Structures are given as structure tokens and as C-alpha cells.
């Protein structure tokens, strides 16, 4: 082992171009290495009306470590939100995303911040993926003005306009027509960007989804509809809600792809493929086969409609973070200890942010009436006593 | 004792329009006002009472110069800024189209979505020939899927496009209620101000000629509690064009209520670019005895009743409230302070209509000025029947308005 340490210290500055061999555990600055590594996805893709992309995904140590860190952060954040909810600091509805982190992280790896993402109410991790900060998340969850929506939105209404994250919607399925509208605007402005409209297996039975899909296919919009199939729509299993649970096929004339949603690299590959497809041929449906460990929301224990064995089984066999951890360890990109250090660091970061968020102020009472209308733009407008005199015409 | 309608400054007369039986022969609306020159940030603000305000800065001086130029070419103009320009005559749906066309030329972000708006030209011809001029990407024929295309319009508006969504009949927009209420109205608030939704949702509503219950709905009563939206109702070609343009330029979601029976109204409107203030009511006929508040088609019933009332010696003040959300309590309040009696004439149903809210608003704010309880004349709380005679009795008729005013002014 000492030999390998010596070796690593001398080779630290050297960029090795050879792929790693398993007999020499070499350590190098893991956060900046971009030597390509090819990994096979866990299961092959199944496709509908299109050719499935290849199972081999290109990645590199930096990306894998980023995946690990981001997913660990998201997981830690959701678990912390769980305890905050039980401590009554978060009220109302709180829908947690732990177990599904691979979808958010893999999608981000395949696209740019100019592509739009819109999702439903399980949006905390997607928001982080889009560049939101932990403070904005916890402050918004606790209703403070430092939150991303200034405390006025809550758990289900996270938005980040500058990185094209359009939320954050409470009504099941209503975000899909909005997402197709975003795709329409992208086509209108000739941006060469795409929109990912995420919805769940419960929302997959909404009529407005098929209406929007029809219009997107007619008008060739760069819309990618992503069904995050965690197999339970609130408390109803998918086989009890959908006659045809093959959600990727439900687009009929629209091509579809079924992806293992617990494998971040498979998600990345599928999203890359989908983006290319959408820019050329119009809409496509991606079905992410994923799983949530928590119940539908914090008011749902999550065990009345599924067994604890099932939950722990998935956690043991398919957990996205464990998969990346195994990948990192088997390619010797980092030691167990380093990964544990990352997790500790993430945990500390989350705890510190929560402390900071707990101390941040609630919104001012006068803010109750701000942002109802966009004022100051457009024609002169008045209140009942003509006290508010606005600017002039644009 | 012809109806004397006061107007400030030179007023253009409407040509008599025989197409609608309820439009009085000689119809003077409040006079044309000045304009905003296209693409120049204007500082000319027009009020419905006739006054014109200029901002005292250099931009305004430039606008003033442009104003002078525009008027100077016309021959016999005596009044300074009021329009001596004879303008051009058109029907209400043409006025809407003109407004829409001008805004689409002015701003490439404006697009129109709706059923049959493109190749067919619009079921009420409001978007006729626009698809030929602007292309299929800007004038979009949608399938019959109100929920999703309204949602798509809102999604597009979130990115900065300015869609104009047409409901073929306002009643069909009930299918899109979720999108209008939750996404259109509330997104600006729940996102903490990050997104504005500059969408215009428009369409004809109201009781037509024996169209049946489902095609004669008054959606303004259902939408009025949605926070974050503005609602306006147009009633003349002049304010139709002005409100359409203002609605498109506004950063807020605006629902523009048109009326199926008013599309063929004819009026002379100015040639210049102008808009109408979205939050302002229109003084149709100043008076002293009683304030009659109305909007959309009922305005014409009220004016017809006003003729009879004037003949009988009353002096009603008629205000077309135009802005259904928020109410222009300033104009209304000043009128109540003058006359001390209010009659509201609306087409909504008695329960939960615009009149009900307006009654509450006036009572709360101006109770001290009222000499008598507010009379609210609204449609009956029944689905609109098909039979012509029954349908007539669901809406308020001029004779009922006359009786109500006489009762109130005893």
C-alpha cells in the first residue's frame, strides 16, 4: 500500500491517458479528471416507435463524483426536510424525492441551462439540479422571505427563471400543457433548445396530457415528456389506475423510451438521445422506472399500500447512490473513506443551511399584496382613490 | 327633446347603424382622445372624462410635436388635441382585428391561438386574413382542446411570448378553468414575481339569439374571484380596439369579454394609434339624478331606456364600467357622490354576478353617499332557454330599467 501512495504522489500531476487497470490503484485529483470511462447501463432500453440508444454510456471520474455528491446532497436534504416537517417547521404539503435522485441528476448532465424543465410538486431536487441553493430551498419550505419564491409559494412552487426551471405545480397534470407551451416558445424563438415536462404515473392518465401531446406532435414541438414512474399514484398502484401501465407506449404515434430511472447514467443517455430526437422529429416520451422511499407526501406513511419489504428491497438492490458508489469504488476513483467524507461534508452543509434558514426572517406583512399584478408596466392604472399613479405606456 | 349627450370637445357622430335594433339612432360616445404614437414611449394619457395629461419631460415634448404633426395635416380642426380627424368607419369585429393586427405588427412576440382562427379566419371573423399575413406559426389553429391550448398559451407567456388565446365561445373556457385560475392568475405571485404572464384570453360570451343554455354563458361571474387576472368587457368598436391593444401590451393576464351580439356594431374610430386604459370606466352620458352602471350589451339596453327616461324628465348618468376586475371605483364613486342613487344593469345572473360584487363594493366604500339602496338588475338565475320569448325575459329589458329608475327616484 505504501508503494501505491508513493506512486500516486509522483503521478499526481500527470494526466494519464491509459484507462485504469484494476491492479494499480492510482489516486489523482478526482474532482478535475475527465478521462472518459465507458459504463454499461444496468438494463437495456426498451423503445416504442424509435431505435433505442446504445447501452454504453460515456462518462468520466469528475462526472461520477459530481453525481455522487449531488445525489448525496439531495438525499440528505430530503431527509432533513422530513425531520423539519415532523418538527412542524415545514407545514402544508411536503413531497419528498428521495429514491428518485438519479432522474434529476442524470437529466442535468445531458442538457444545458437553456433547456427548460418543468415538473409537478415533487420539485425540491429538480430545483437543486437546476442550480438552486440549499438556502433557497429550506427558506422557502419554512416560508421565509429568503426562499426562491419569497416564501409565498411553498414546497410545491419552486421556480428559477434564470436557469429555466419553470416549477413547481400543485395540480396534477396541469404542468404538461405548460411544458408544451414552453416548447412552443422555444420553437417560436428558434432557440434550438428543448423542454422536459416531467409528470408522474398518476398524472399519466390526465386528459390534458394527451391533448398537449397531440398538439405537440402536430406542430413538431421540441417537447420531451418524462414520466417519472414510481409505480404509485398517491396511494394507488399503477396497475389499479392505468389499463396500460406501459407509459412510454401511451403516446401511440409519439415515440417512447423506457429507462431504468435508478441508474443516473442511463437517464443521462436517454435524455441526450431524447434531446437530439426532439430537435429533429418532435415530441418523445421517456418513462423513468424509478421509486420513492417516502410516501406520496409527509401525511402518507407510505406503507399502507406497499410492503416494507418492497421498499427495503428496492433500497438494497436499486438505490441510485449505492450504484454510483459501487461504480466509483470499482473503478478506484476514490476510497470508501473519501466518499464517506463527502457525505459527512454534505450533511454538515445541510445542517448549517437549516440553521441559517431557521434564523432568516418571515416575509413582511406588506408583501401580502405584492406580485399579485405586475405593476408599473403598461397603461396608467389607479386604485379606488386614484392614489397609485403608474408609469406610462411601454 | 332629443337625447342630449354631453361631450367634451369635438365629438364624432356615429353613423346610424340599422344592424342592431337596440342601438339608438343618434349615438354619441365620449369623444375620441389622443393617441400613443407607435413605438415611441408615449406620455400622453387619456382619461375618459376628456382631459389629457402630458408628462413634462423631453419625451413628452417629442410626443407633443408628433401629435401636432399628425393633426396639422387635417383641414378643419379647431380643438387642439381632440380628434378632428374624421377617422374611418368599421364594425366591432373589424376593430378587434385592427387592434390585433397592429399589435402583431408592432411586436413579433404576439401570436394568436385558438380554434379556427387561422385558415378559417375565425368563427366571428376577428382573425380574418391574419394567418395569410403572419403565417402559421403566429396564427395557430388548435385542435379542440381548450384545457391544453390555454395551458400552452400560459406556458409560452411564461417565457416572454404574448399569446392571444381565443375561446370560440367563452363558455368553452370552463374547460380551461384550472389553467386560468391556477396557472394564469397565480403564477406571478407563487413564483415570487419571477414570471409575468402577459397573456390575453378573449372570446364572445353572453346571451345571444336563441343559442341555447350552454352557449349563452356569462363567464365573468365565474372568473371574477381569481386573483391576479384583469377582466375587461368591450362594448363599442372604439373601446374594443383600445382594450384589445392595451390588453396585449399589459404584463398581466387579461381576459377580454366580447359579446356575440355586438360584433356588427358600426362606429367611426380614429386613424391614429390609441389605447384605452384597462382599469378605467367610460362615462357614456353624464347626468344628475341617478347613476346607471352597466357593461357590454346591457349598455345599449340602458341607452335605450335612457332615451325614454329623458323624455320623462329624468337625467340619468350612464357609466360603462368596462373594467370588471378591478372596478374603477374612482369614476363610480364620483358619480355616486353626485347622484346618490345607483342602478346596476348587468347580464350576469343575480347570484354571484358582477353586479353582486359591485353592489358590495359600492356599499362598502360609498354607503354614506347613498340615498337609497342600490338596485341591481341582472339576468334570472336560470339556464338560458331556447324559446325566443323566454330568452328575452331572462335578460334585463329597457322597460324594466325605466321602471327601476322611476321607482328609485321617487
Which residues, numbered 97 to 136 in chain B, qualify as contacts with chain A under a Cβ-Cβ cut-off of 8 Å? 111
| A316 pLDDT more than 50 | yes
Residue B84: band (very low, low, confident or very high) from pLDDT cuts 50, 70, 90: low
| B8 pLDDT more than 50 | no
Chain-chain contact of A385 with B182 (C-beta, under 8 angstroms)? no
**Whole-number Å distance between alpha carbons of A182 and B72:** 47
Chain-chain contact of B153 with A160 (C-beta, under 8 angstroms)? no
What is the DSSP track for A221-233?
Answer: --EEEEEEE-SEE
Taking CB atoms and an 8 Å cutoff, what residues of chain B touch A371? 188-189, 192-193
Residue B76: band (very low, low, confident or very high) from pLDDT cuts 50, 70, 90: very low
Q: What is the mean pLDDT of residues B348-353?
A: 92
Residue A87: band (very low, low, confident or very high) from pLDDT cuts 50, 70, 90: very high
Q: Does B193 touch chain A (CB under 8 A)?
A: yes
The closest CB to that of B152, out of A150, A215, A392, belongs to A215
Residue A23: band (very low, low, confident or very high) from pLDDT cuts 50, 70, 90: very low
Active site residue B215: yes
**Whole-number Å distance between alpha carbons of A391 and B249:** 13
Give me the percent of chain A exceeding a pLDDT of 70: 87
| B173 pLDDT more than 70 | yes
| B222 pLDDT more than 70 | yes
Q: Does B141 touch chain A (CB under 8 A)?
A: no
Chain-chain contact of A170 with B227 (C-beta, under 8 angstroms)? no
Taking CB atoms and an 8 Å cutoff, what residues of chain A touch B158? 166, 178, 181-182, 185
Q: 3-class SS at B100?
A: helix
Among A132, A113, A200, CA closest to A140:
A132
Q: What is the mean pLDDT of residues B145-162?
A: 95
ipTM at complex level? 0.83
Longest dimension (CA), chain A: 84
Distances (CA, A) of B192 to A137, A146, A160, A273, B186: 14, 11, 10, 34, 10
Residue B395 CB contacts under 8 Å (≥ 6 apart), including other chains: B207, B298, B301, B347, B379
Chain B: residue nearest A188 by CA?
B137
Which residues, numbered 283 to 342 in chain B, qualify as contacts with chain A under a Cβ-Cβ cut-off of 8 Å? 326-330, 333
Query: Which residue did the predictor score with more confidence, B3 or A138?
Result: A138
- pLDDT computed for residue B410 by the predictor: 84
- pLDDT computed for residue A180 by the predictor: 96
| A339 pLDDT more than 80 | yes
Q: What is the mean pLDDT of residues B6-21?
A: 38
Chain-chain contact of A372 with B228 (C-beta, under 8 angstroms)? yes
**Range from A256-265, A383-392, B257-266, B272-281 carrying the lowest mean pLDDT:** A383-392
| B202 pLDDT more than 50 | yes
Chain A: residue nearest B191 by CA?
A149
- pLDDT computed for residue A28 by the predictor: 54
Chain-chain contact of A212 with B192 (C-beta, under 8 angstroms)? no
Chain-chain contact of B147 with A207 (C-beta, under 8 angstroms)? yes
Residue A222: band (very low, low, confident or very high) from pLDDT cuts 50, 70, 90: very high
Chain A: residue nearest B332 by CA?
A384
**Whole-number Å distance between alpha carbons of A188 and A185:** 5
Residue of B155, B158, B239, B360 to mutate, testing the A interface (most A Cβ within 10 Å of its Cβ)? B155
Identify whether the C-beta of residue B113 lies closer than 8 Å to the C-beta of residue A177. Answer: no
**Whole-number Å distance between alpha carbons of A294 and B285:** 65
**Whole-number Å distance between alpha carbons of A232 and B67:** 65
**Whole-number Å distance between alpha carbons of A84 and A89:** 5
**Mean of per-residue pLDDT scores for chain B:** 82
**Range from A99-108, A376-385, B248-257, B326-335 carrying the lowest mean pLDDT:** A376-385
Q: What is the pLDDT of residues B285-337, one digit of tens each?
A: 999 999 999 999 999 999 999 999 999 999 999 999 999 988 888 899 999 99
Nearest CA distance, B20 vs chain A (angstrom):
32
Q: What is the pLDDT of residues A33-73, one digit of tens each?
A: 788 889 988 899 999 999 999 999 999 999 999 999 999 99
| B57 pLDDT more than 50 | no
Residue A378: band (very low, low, confident or very high) from pLDDT cuts 50, 70, 90: very low
Q: Name the active-site residue from B115, B166, B215, B272.
A: B215
Question: How would you classify the pairing of strands B139-141 and B110-114?
Answer: parallel
Query: Which residue did the predictor score with more confidence, A302 or B38?
Result: A302
Chain B: residue nearest A152 by CA?
B190
Q: Does B34 touch chain A (CB under 8 A)?
A: no
| B403 pLDDT more than 90 | yes
Nearest CA distance, A392 vs chain B (angstrom):
6
Chain B: residue nearest A369 by CA?
B189
Rounded to a whole number of angstroms, the CA Rg of chain B reads 21
| B401 pLDDT more than 60 | yes
- pLDDT computed for residue A366 by the predictor: 82
Nearest CA distance, A326 vs chain B (angstrom):
39
Q: What is the mean pLDDT of residues A364-377?
A: 77
Q: What is the dihedral of CA A199, A201, A202, A205, to 10 degrees?
A: 90
Taking CB atoms and an 8 Å cutoff, what residues of chain A touch B193? 150, 370-371, 374
Distances (CA, A) of A71 to A67, A99, B207: 6, 9, 58
Chain-chain contact of B151 with A374 (C-beta, under 8 angstroms)? no
Chain-chain contact of A181 with B156 (C-beta, under 8 angstroms)? yes
Q: Name the active-site residue from B98, B146, B272, B391.
A: B146
| A394 pLDDT more than 70 | no
pTM of the model: 0.81
The closest CB to that of B251, out of A159, A214, A378, belongs to A378
Tell me the residue ranges of DSSP E strands in A182-325: 195-200, 223-229, 232-233, 236-237, 256-260, 284-289
Residue B30: band (very low, low, confident or very high) from pLDDT cuts 50, 70, 90: very low
Among A289, A315, A155, A286, CA closest to A232:
A289
Residue of A157, A194, A213, A374 to mutate, testing the B interface (most B Cβ within 10 Å of its Cβ)? A374
Chain-chain contact of B158 with A377 (C-beta, under 8 angstroms)? no
- pLDDT computed for residue A30 by the predictor: 58
Query: Which residue did the predictor score with more confidence, B77 or A288?
Result: A288
Residue B1: band (very low, low, confident or very high) from pLDDT cuts 50, 70, 90: very low
Residue A172 CB contacts under 8 Å (≥ 6 apart), including other chains: A120, A199, A200, A202, A203, A206
| A27 pLDDT more than 90 | no
**Whole-number Å distance between alpha carbons of A260 and A100:** 11
Query: Cα A180 to chain center, whole Å?
Result: 18
DSSP B285: E
Identify whether the C-beta of residue A221 lies closer than 8 Å to the C-beta of residue A282. Answer: yes
Distances (CA, A) of A72 to A100, A140, A246, A255, A266: 12, 21, 30, 33, 18
Chain-chain contact of A160 with B328 (C-beta, under 8 angstroms)? no
Q: 3-class SS at B284?
A: strand
Residue of B190, B253, B254, B337 to mutate, testing the A interface (most A Cβ within 10 Å of its Cβ)? B190
Residue of A131, A136, A375, A393 to mutate, testing the B interface (most B Cβ within 10 Å of its Cβ)? A393
Amino acid at each position: 500500500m505504501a508503494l501505491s501512495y508513493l506512486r500516486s504522489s509522483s503521478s499526481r500531476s500527470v494526466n494519464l491517458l491509459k484507462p485504469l487497470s484494476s491492479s494499480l490503484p492510482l489516486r489523482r485529483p478526482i474532482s478535475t479528471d475527465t478521462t472518459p470511462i465507458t459504463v454499461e447501463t444496468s438494463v437495456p432500453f426498451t423503445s416504442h416507435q424509435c431505435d433505442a440508444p446504445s447501452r454504453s454510456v460515456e462518462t468520466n471520474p469528475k462526472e461520477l463524483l459530481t453525481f455522487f455528491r449531488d445525489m448525496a446532497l439531495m438525499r440528505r436534504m430530503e431527509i432533513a426536510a422530513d425531520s423539519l416537517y415532523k418538527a412542524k417547521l415545514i407545514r402544508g404539503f411536503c413531497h419528498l424525492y428521495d429514491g428518485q435522485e438519479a432522474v434529476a441528476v442524470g437529466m442535468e448532465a445531458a442538457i444545458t441551462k437553456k433547456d427548460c424543465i418543468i415538473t409537478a410538486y415533487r420539485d425540491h431536487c429538480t430545483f437543486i439540479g437546476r442550480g438552486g441553493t440549499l438556502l433557497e430551498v429550506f427558506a422557502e419550505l419554512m416560508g421565509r422571505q429568503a426562499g426562491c419564491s419569497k416564501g409565498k409559494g411553498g414546497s410545491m412552487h419552486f421556480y428559477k427563471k434564470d436557469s429555466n426551471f419553470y416549477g413547481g405545480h400543485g395540480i396534477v397534470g396541469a404542468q404538461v400543457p405548460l411544458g408544451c407551451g414552453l416548447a412552443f416558445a422555444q420553437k417560436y424563438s428558434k432557440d434550438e433548445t428543448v423542454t422536459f415536462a416531467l409528470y408522474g404515473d398518476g398524472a399519466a392518465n390526465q386528459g390534458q396530457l394527451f391533448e398537449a401531446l397531440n398538439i405537440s406532435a402536430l406542430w413538431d414541438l421540441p417537447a420531451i415528456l418524462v414520466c417519472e414512474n414510481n409505480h404509485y399514484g398517491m396511494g394507488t398502484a399503477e396497475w389499479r389506475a392505468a389499463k396500460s401501465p406501459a407509459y412510454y407506449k401511451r403516446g401511440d404515434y409519439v415515440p417512447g423510451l423506457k429507462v431504468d430511472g435508478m441508474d443516473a447514467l442511463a437517464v443521462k443517455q436517454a435524455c441526450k438521445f431524447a434531446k437530439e430526437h426532439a430537435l429533429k422529429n418532435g415530441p418523445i416520451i421517456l418513462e423513468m422506472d424509478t421509486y420513492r422511499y417516502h410516501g406520496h407526501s409527509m401525511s402518507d406513511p407510505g406503507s399502507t399500500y406497499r410492503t416494507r419489504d418492497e421498499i427495503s428491497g428496492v433500497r438494497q438492490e436499486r438505490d441510485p447512490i449505492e450504484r454510483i458508489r459501487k461504480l466509483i469504488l470499482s473503478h478506484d476513483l476514490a476510497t470508501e473513506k473519501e466518499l464517506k467524507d463527502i457525505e459527512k461534508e454534505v450533511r454538515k452543509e445541510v445542517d448549517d443551511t437549516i440553521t441559517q434558514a431557521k434564523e432568516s426572517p418571515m416575509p413582511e406583512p406588506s408583501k401580502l399584496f405584492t406580485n399579485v399584478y405586475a405593476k408599473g408596466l403598461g397603461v396608467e392604472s389607479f386604485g379606488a382613490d386614484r392614489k397609485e399613479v403608474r408609469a406610462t405606456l411601454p | 327633446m332629443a337625447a342630449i349627450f354631453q361631450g367634451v370637445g369635438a365629438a364624432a357622430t356615429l353613423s346610424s347603424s340599422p344592424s342592431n335594433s337596440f342601438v339608438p339612432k343618434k349615438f354619441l360616445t365620449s369623444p375620441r382622445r389622443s393617441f400613443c404614437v407607435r413605438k415611441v414611449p408615449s406620455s400622453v394619457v387619456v382619461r375618459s372624462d376628456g382631459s389629457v395629461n402630458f408628462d413634462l419631460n423631453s419625451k413628452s415634448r417629442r410626443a407633443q410635436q408628433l401629435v401636432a404633426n399628425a393633426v396639422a395635416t387635417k383641414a378643419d380642426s379647431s380643438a387642439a388635441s381632440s380628434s378632428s380627424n374624421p377617422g374611418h368607419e368599421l364594425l366591432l369585429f373589424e376593430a378587434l382585428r385592427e387592434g390585433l393586427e397592429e399589435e402583431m405588427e408592432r411586436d413579433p412576440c404576439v401570436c394568436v391561438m385558438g380554434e379556427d382562427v387561422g385558415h378559417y379566419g375565425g368563427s366571428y371573423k376577428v382573425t380574418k386574413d391574419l394567418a395569410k399575413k403572419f403565417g402559421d406559426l403566429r396564427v395557430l389553429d388548435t385542435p379542440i382542446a381548450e384545457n391544453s391550448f390555454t395551458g400552452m398559451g400560459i406556458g409560452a407567456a411564461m417565457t416572454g411570448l404574448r399569446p392571444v388565446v381565443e375561446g370560440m365561445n367563452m363558455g368553452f373556457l370552463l374547460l380551461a378553468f384550472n389553467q386560468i385560475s391556477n396557472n394564469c392568475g397565480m403564477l406571478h405571485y407563487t413564483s415570487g414575481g419571477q414570471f409575468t404572464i402577459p397573456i390575453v384570453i378573449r372570446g364572445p360570451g353572453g346571451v345571444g339569439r336563441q343559442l341555447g343554455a350552454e352557449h349563452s354563458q356569462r363567464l365573468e361571474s365565474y372568473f371574477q374571484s381569481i386573483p391576479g387576472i384583469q377582466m375587461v368587457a368591450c362594448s363599442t368598436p372604439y373601446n374594443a380596439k383600445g382594450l384589445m391593444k392595451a390588453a396585449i401590451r399589459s404584463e398581466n393576464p387579461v381576459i377580454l369579454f366580447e359579446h356575440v351580439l355586438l360584433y356588427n356594431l358600426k362606429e367611426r374610430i380614429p386613424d391614429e394609434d390609441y389605447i384605452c386604459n384597462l382599469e378605467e370606466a367610460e362615462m357614456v352620458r353624464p347626468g344628475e339624478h341617478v347613476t346607471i352602471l352597466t357593461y357590454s350589451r346591457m349598455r345599449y339596453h340602458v341607452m335605450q331606456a335612457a332615451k325614454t327616461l329623458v323624455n320623462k324628465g329624468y337625467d340619468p348618468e350612464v357609466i360603462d364600467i368596462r373594467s370588471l376586475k378591478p372596478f374603477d371605483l374612482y369614476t363610480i364613486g364620483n358619480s355616486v357622490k353626485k347622484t346618490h342613487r345607483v342602478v346596476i344593469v348587468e347580464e350576469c345572473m343575480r347570484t354571484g354576478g358582477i353586479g353582486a360584487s359591485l353592489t358590495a363594493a359600492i356599499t362598502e366604500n360609498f354607503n354614506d353617499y347613498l340615498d337609497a339602496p342600490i338596485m341591481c338588475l341582472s339576468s334570472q338565475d336560470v339556464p338560458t332557454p331556447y324559446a325566443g320569448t323566454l330568452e328575452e325575459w331572462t335578460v334585463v329589458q329597457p322597460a324594466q330599467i325605466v321602471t327601476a329608475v322611476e321607482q328609485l327616484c321617487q
